[in-house]
């Protein structure tokens, strides 16, 4: 079987030789490294690879080529090899130059290339190799061949097989799916006993689960379901960006922290294929990778996790707060942080709900994108997550249509995303429009769109529908003492006082709910800024506020009476 190709084109002979030496030395055993100075020769190679079916993993180009810019050539490369990662090579002398920055922003915005990287300055150049390794990992994940990929085999795309894929997505676990009757499915099933119950989940170590429950899947994927003890300093409900941030800060500052989530990690952030405006990631970072890194960080500091576990009750009890899980397990804590986030609103069209997992998806599941080559895709939603999903899907689909009820994307989407969408040739936007119907024979085939200005309805072809509309907080289980607004979002701080719901002598802390000792952060909170960075910030702030709460309640850092254990001063922010 031929090796995947790493193709480089650069008009600068000396620079090209340096790149070739580094690539050959580090990747020559596993990849076919091809370095060319001619754009025409590189185009011919790419076309030949496409005709032969050879895999192109990565394409690199210098910024100035003979007869084209690097950005233009990389854009052409995508047409032949949509899965290949594409990088623009720049020199250290170009770093910080305003014109170079504009070239990079414009190229990424137009999806001409995926990222930029510096030409090697020495040998070995580990900065260069770090960028290349990241690009190759992204390519492997897009091919669903990354290390530690979990394989799901099912009889259909819908039903329990889809639920298992969603659960793995929530746990930020790389996974692939195939039908039992496919070649890959038969190959996997050949290694398991006859009569094995489908759907089947196969882990990298060879272990197999037959039609597992979500709890069994979470344990196998590395998330503990039951806590090892029943008393904690703080219980964090929700493992999205706010909850993970709180877990990192709580555990690093010595709190015994338990994080509980009805799914896995990352919340809605895991549906973001590329977050480009998150501080410290100039090349962007996927929501899944960000969530996985945050989970690893909190785990190393000592936080406990309970995935696929639903919280059913919350009440004050003998100076503690008692938290009850749906399986009857009851734990005690001195403080609770609510960070459950919110879910996308269901579309409410029966024919489309029946196709959930078979062309109809809630959220921007990046795992579905590689299977949508040459497809017609519709994304419903006008927030950042919808824009990020549309841009990612446009790399694979023939056309992507964003449908919104409002007048313009700019009402709810960051400017940088709107600009990217406007510059992406195969993305269209339909305003003042909504999806009112659709169907298909076992898989989505068509949608009915209604123009809310004229009332006219139009049936359009659609292979996939990604729904990212509205936000419904997971707050139905909360007791009445935790006061919410008319939409179910939790009131905190001054809003609690304004609602006449505060009963203590002291004023509530900024993120404190109407139930003393219970705090809220992230999307679940009334008037929250619905951005990943904001949720992360609130999660960290909540832990600093927790120190002040313990001091006000005459408790030490571990929630015990301060006259029994000397108080520990709060660390500086």
The yes-or-no verdict on residue 270 having pLDDT over 90 is no
pLDDT band for position 572 (cuts 50, 70, 90):
very low
The yes-or-no verdict on residue 147 having pLDDT over 90 is no
Question: Which pair of structure tokens corresponds to residue 60?
Answer: 């690199």
Task: Identify the top-confidence range among 155-169, 185-199, 425-439, 461-475.
Answer: 425-439
pLDDT band for position 570 (cuts 50, 70, 90):
very low
* 46, 150 contact by CB (below 8 A): no
* 74, 395 contact by CB (below 8 A): no
The yes-or-no verdict on residue 271 having pLDDT over 70 is no
Min mean pLDDT across 50-54, 112-116, 213-217, 305-309 is at 213-217
The yes-or-no verdict on residue 308 having pLDDT over 70 is yes
Edge-to-edge strands of the sheet including 200-202? 175-179, 150-154, 200-202, 208-210
* 513, 482 contact by CB (below 8 A): yes
State how far the Cα of 511 lies from the Cα of 245, in Å rounded to an integer: 15
The yes-or-no verdict on residue 571 having pLDDT over 50 is no
pLDDT band for position 284 (cuts 50, 70, 90):
confident
In this structure, the number of other CB atoms found within 10 A of the CB of residue 109 comes to: 18
Number of continuous H segments (helices) and E segments (strands) in the chain: 15, 26
Start-end of H helices in 302-376: 350-353
* 59, 33 contact by CB (below 8 A): no
* 231, 218 contact by CB (below 8 A): no
The yes-or-no verdict on residue 272 having pLDDT over 60 is yes
Min mean pLDDT across 222-231, 278-287, 309-318, 402-411 is at 222-231
State how far the Cα of 417 lies from the Cα of 394, in Å rounded to an integer: 13
| Rounded average pLDDT over 106-116 | 80
State how far the Cα of 168 lies from the Cα of 263, in Å rounded to an integer: 9
Task: Identify the top-confidence range among 71-85, 145-159, 261-275.
Answer: 71-85
The yes-or-no verdict on residue 330 having pLDDT over 70 is yes
* 402, 449 contact by CB (below 8 A): no
| Rounded average pLDDT over 179-189 | 85
Q: What pLDDT is stored for residue 558 in this prediction?
A: 53
Q: What pLDDT is stored for residue 442 in this prediction?
A: 76
pLDDT band for position 145 (cuts 50, 70, 90):
low
556 phi/psi in degrees, rounded to 5: -85, -175
State how far the Cα of 352 lies from the Cα of 359, in Å rounded to an integer: 9
Q: What pLDDT is stored for residue 263 in this prediction?
A: 76
Q: What pLDDT is stored for residue 161 in this prediction?
A: 83
The yes-or-no verdict on residue 170 having pLDDT over 70 is no
* 491, 457 contact by CB (below 8 A): no
The yes-or-no verdict on residue 573 having pLDDT over 60 is no
Closest CA to 530 of 483, 481, 468: 468
Q: What pLDDT is stored for residue 538 in this prediction?
A: 94
Check residues 172 and 376 and name the one with the higher pLDDT.
376
* 30, 139 contact by CB (below 8 A): no
The one-character DSSP state at 67 is: S
Q: What pLDDT is stored for residue 8 in this prediction?
A: 96
424 phi/psi in degrees, rounded to 5: -90, 115
In this structure, is the dihedral angle defined by the CA atoms of residues 171, 143, 22 and 93, taken in order, positive or negative? negative
Q: What pLDDT is stored for residue 372 in this prediction?
A: 84
The yes-or-no verdict on residue 369 having pLDDT over 80 is no
| Rounded average pLDDT over 423-441 | 93
3-state secondary structure string, 476-516? Answer: CCCCCCCCECCCCCECCCHHHHHCCCCCCCCCCCCCECCCC
| Rounded average pLDDT over 450-463 | 94
| Rounded average pLDDT over 480-505 | 93
State how far the Cα of 287 lies from the Cα of 298, in Å rounded to an integer: 16
State how far the Cα of 525 lies from the Cα of 439, in Å rounded to an integer: 36
Q: What pLDDT is stored for residue 96 in this prediction?
A: 64
Q: Which long-range contacts (CB under 8 A, 24 or more apart) does 318-325 make?
A: 321/235, 321/517, 321/518, 323/235, 323/237, 323/260, 325/260
Domains of the chain: 5-142 (3.40.50.2300), 150-220 (3.40.30.10), 231-343+472-552 (3.50.50.60), 350-467 (3.50.50.60)
State how far the Cα of 293 lies from the Cα of 136, in Å rounded to an integer: 18
* 262, 474 contact by CB (below 8 A): yes
pLDDT band for position 565 (cuts 50, 70, 90):
very low
63 preceded by a cis bond (ω within 30 of 0): no
Look over the chain and give the mean of its residue pLDDT values, rounded to a whole number.
85
Min mean pLDDT across 62-66, 108-112, 268-272, 442-446 is at 268-272
| Rounded average pLDDT over 390-408 | 92
* 59, 10 contact by CB (below 8 A): no
Start-end of H helices in 323-374: 350-353
| Rounded average pLDDT over 129-140 | 89
The yes-or-no verdict on residue 519 having pLDDT over 90 is yes
Closest CA to 510 of 487, 544, 478, 485: 544
* Beta pairing, strands 427-430 & 399-403: parallel
| Rounded average pLDDT over 480-499 | 94
Return the H-helix or E-strand segment holding 436: strand 433-439
Min mean pLDDT across 42-46, 291-295, 525-529, 557-561 is at 557-561
Question: Which pair of structure tokens corresponds to residue 284?
Answer: 């962007």
102, 341, 423 from 106: Cα distances, Å: 6, 33, 9
Q: What angle do CA 314, 317, 322 make, to 5 degrees?
A: 35
The yes-or-no verdict on residue 566 having pLDDT over 60 is no
């Amino acid at each position: 079987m031929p090796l995947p190709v790493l193709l480089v084109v650069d008009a600068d002979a000396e620079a090209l030789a340096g790149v070739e030496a580094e690539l050959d030395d580090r990747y020559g055993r596993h990849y076919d490294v091809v370095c060319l100075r001619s754009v025409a020769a590189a185009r011919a190679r790419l076309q030949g690879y496409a005709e032969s079916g050879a895999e192109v993993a990565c394409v690199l180009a210098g910024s100035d080529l003979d007869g084209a810019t690097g950005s233009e050539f990389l854009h052409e490369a995508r047409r032949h090899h949509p899965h290949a990662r594409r990088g623009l090579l720049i020199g250290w002398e170009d770093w910080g130059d305003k014109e170079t920055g504009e070239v990079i922003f414009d190229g990424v915005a137009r999806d001409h290339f995926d990222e930029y990287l510096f030409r090697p300055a020495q040998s070995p150049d580990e900065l260069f190799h770090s960028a290349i390794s990241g690009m190759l990992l992204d390519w492997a994940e897009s091919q669903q061949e990354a290390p530690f990929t979990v394989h799901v085999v099912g009889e259909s795309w819908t039903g329990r097989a889809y639920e298992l894929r969603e659960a793995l997505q929530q746990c930020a676990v790389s996974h692939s799916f195939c039908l039992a009757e496919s070649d890959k499915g038969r190959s996997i099933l050949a290694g398991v006993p006859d009569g094995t119950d489908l759907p089947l989940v196969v882990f990298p170590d060879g272990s197999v689960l037959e039609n597992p429950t979500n709890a069994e899947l979470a344990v196998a994927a590395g998330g503990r379901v039951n806590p090892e003890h029943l008393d904690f300093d703080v219980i964090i409900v929700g493992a999205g960006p706010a909850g993970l941030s709180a877990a990192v800060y709580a555990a690093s500052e010595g709190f015994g922290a338990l994080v509980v989530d009805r799914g896995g990690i990352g919340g809605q952030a895991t549906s973001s294929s590329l977050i480009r405006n998150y501080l410290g990631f100039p090349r962007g970072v996927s929501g899944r990778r960000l969530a996985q890194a945050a989970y690893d960080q909190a785990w190393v500091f000592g936080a406990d996790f309970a995935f696929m576990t639903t919280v059913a009750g919350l009440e004050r009890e003998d100076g503690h707060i008692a938290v009850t899980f749906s399986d009857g397990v009851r734990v005690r804590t001195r403080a609770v942080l609510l960070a459950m986030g919110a879910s996308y609103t269901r579309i409410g069209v029966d024919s489309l709900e029946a196709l959930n997992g078979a062309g109809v998806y809630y959220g921007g599941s990046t795992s579905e994108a590689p299977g949508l080559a040459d497809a017609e895709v519709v994304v419903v939603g006008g927030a950042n997550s919808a824009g990020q999903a549309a841009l990612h899907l446009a790399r694979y689909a023939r056309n992507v249509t964003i449908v919104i009820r409002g007048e313009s994307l700019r009402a709810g989407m960051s400017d940088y995303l709107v600009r990217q969408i406007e510059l992406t040739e195969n993305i269209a936007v339909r305003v003042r429009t909504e999806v009112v119907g659709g169907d298909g024979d076992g898989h989505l085939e068509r949608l009915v769109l209604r123009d809310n200005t004229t009332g006219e309805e139009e049936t359009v072809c659609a292979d996939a529908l990604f729904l990212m509309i509205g936000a419904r907080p997971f707050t139905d289980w909360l007791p009445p003492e935790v006061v919410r607004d008319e939409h179910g979002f939790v009131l905190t701080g001054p809003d609690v006082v304004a609602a006449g719901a505060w009963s203590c002598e002291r004023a509530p802390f900024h993120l404190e709910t109407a139930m003393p000792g219970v705090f809220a952060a992230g999307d679940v909170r009334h008037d929250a800024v619905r951005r990943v960075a904001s949720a992360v910030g609130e999660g960290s702030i909540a832990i600093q506020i927790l120190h002040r709460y313990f001091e006000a309640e005459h408790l030490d850092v571990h929630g015990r009476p301060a006259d029994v254990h000397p108080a520990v001063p709060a660390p500086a922010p």
